[in-house]
Structure 1
């Protein structure tokens, strides 16, 4: 079944948005573009897609904001390259940059989560003339050390094994299935309204390539291939004066707030928060409307200060 047919079958009532596409660096990228006003760009990570932000759209557009939600190349309704070489961190930053420049996005608030963090911050810090503010949630943007979660032999380091990662995440879709299920608080609700959407948007092993190759870009030691980009992100963050709000899930163990939100506060001492909400790693599933409200109030404060 085609990805677009899957989305219509499993998510139409919760995701009634007409598909839009742009060509970015040779790939076909899907995005949602709703509302009018200053844009808010909502960025997902692995193994999610724009559906993760379905509870944000109405609160943000009702407040007079334009909502743009890309599906990263390799996820959702976007094209899914079957070559690992297509999935470098710099490549994903370039894809996002191409989309937002084609849409001539300016005065944007960039909302970063999981891999949407390094990707979105990579765009924001190199296109500061197009960015108004940052919302940072459950992510990171520095080289070392990784989270304690990522140092565990099981499950994380097992995913880096040449055969185990492709077998569990590719053949059995473990990250979009059980992985996401274990990364929310209200699992009964998640299973009823969302789990099948995440599983079925990645219908076969070929479409799941990024779920097991993207984790390998998390720097584990000094030889990591993404180390230089993360060093750049850390340096540029220290210089940033962009208004920033930190929002974190209390129960997140992938990027726990005591370690990671504190680190962001060190790099961005002017940042507001962290504001804590109910949520494990995919906090949007448990507290979507609440987070959207926090974003609206934060942007309202910025507008009041600038008026």
Structure 2
């Protein structure tokens, strides 16, 4: 069975949600919108899509919350532009903003993971009247220093070299394949349950463009094109008074909790946590139900329900 066919079969079984679409800044953007109540917006990064949060949706909606899960343009069921200029950090933040404004999202909790951190925090800090709380997981929001993982020649920098990166991540789908496989704890379960879906959603080199172009926005020095945006994020985040929960994968090697969760705690001393769960970078795969429970209890506390 081809990877795309496997993805469709698994998706129907594990992702039984009505697909919805909006035209956002000229692109067709997919999202799901389940339940009722104050919205919880679940944001993925690279090379995932909304499927990453499949274990969150039922616990959150059962607790009386509306759950919105967008696929960033270039991923999942959203349109996949084939030119690099479509994939900038500011562009993706603008796409998210356009979608949530069209949906008139208010009193939202932004759940930010990986690139969902810079994009989701960018939305929250620019639209404070629409956001009530933050949940931050395995991400970052400052220019330097980057993670040690991103400083290494192998595997990170060599993958994003002009020729090697497109070959490995474009032609061979290395990030959605082996990259995600190595970034979970229970690899056997991931391989059987989820890996074919992530690979199948990026079926050819053209559809994988974002997997090797978006990471180039990670600042490695002061000349980086994303440097000013991350300076802004750090500066504005220091002023934030949003109730915040930090959740981190205990085994995460990309954004290790001792460095990155600690840094968020310095920027947001009022934040709860970090609460550690089983998980490497894609901690949702190993501890989805547990994290959803933590989010529900956190929101219950700030809502005064307990």
TM-score band w.r.t. shorter chain:
over 0.9
CA shift for structure 1 position 6: 6.7
Q: Which residue is equivalent to 1:134? A: 134
* Equivalent pair of 2:183/2:281 in contact (CA under 8 Å): yes
* Equivalent pair of 2:8/2:197 in contact (CA under 8 Å): no
* Equivalent pair of 1:4/1:77 in contact (CA under 8 Å): no
* Equivalent pair of 1:40/1:111 in contact (CA under 8 Å): yes
Q: Which residue is equivalent to 1:295? A: 295
TM alignment of 1:115-126, pairs within 5 A: 115-126=115-126
Q: Which residue is equivalent to 2:270? A: 270
Q: 1:6, 1:71 → 2: CA distance?
A: 19
Q: 1:38, 1:6 → 2: CA distance?
A: 35
Q: Deviations over 1:153-199 (max 9, x none)?
A: 00001022100000000000000000000000000000010000000
Q: Deviations over 1:227-268 (max 9, x none)?
A: 000000000000000000000000000000000000000100
Give the TM-score, by structure 1 length. 0.97
Q: Which residue is equivalent to 1:12? A: 12
Q: 2:6, 2:237 → 1: CA distance?
A: 39
Q: 2:109, 2:245 → 1: CA distance?
A: 10
Q: 1:182, 1:249 → 2: CA distance?
A: 14
Matched, 1:112 2:112: yes
TM alignment of 1:238-253, pairs within 5 A: 238-253=238-253
2:97 partner SS? helix
Unaligned runs of 5+ in 2: none
Unaligned runs of 5+ in 1: none
Q: Which residue is equivalent to 2:189? A: 189
Q: Which residue is equivalent to 2:72? A: 72
Matched, 1:282 2:282: yes
CA shift for structure 1 position 4: 9.2
CA shift for structure 1 position 108: 0.1
Cα RMSD, aligned residues only: 1.5
* Equivalent pair of 2:49/2:75 in contact (CA under 8 Å): yes
TM alignment of 1:225-240, pairs within 5 A: 225-240=225-240
Matched, 1:208 2:203: no
Q: Deviations over 1:54-107 (max 9, x none)?
A: 000000000000000000000000000001000010000000000000000000
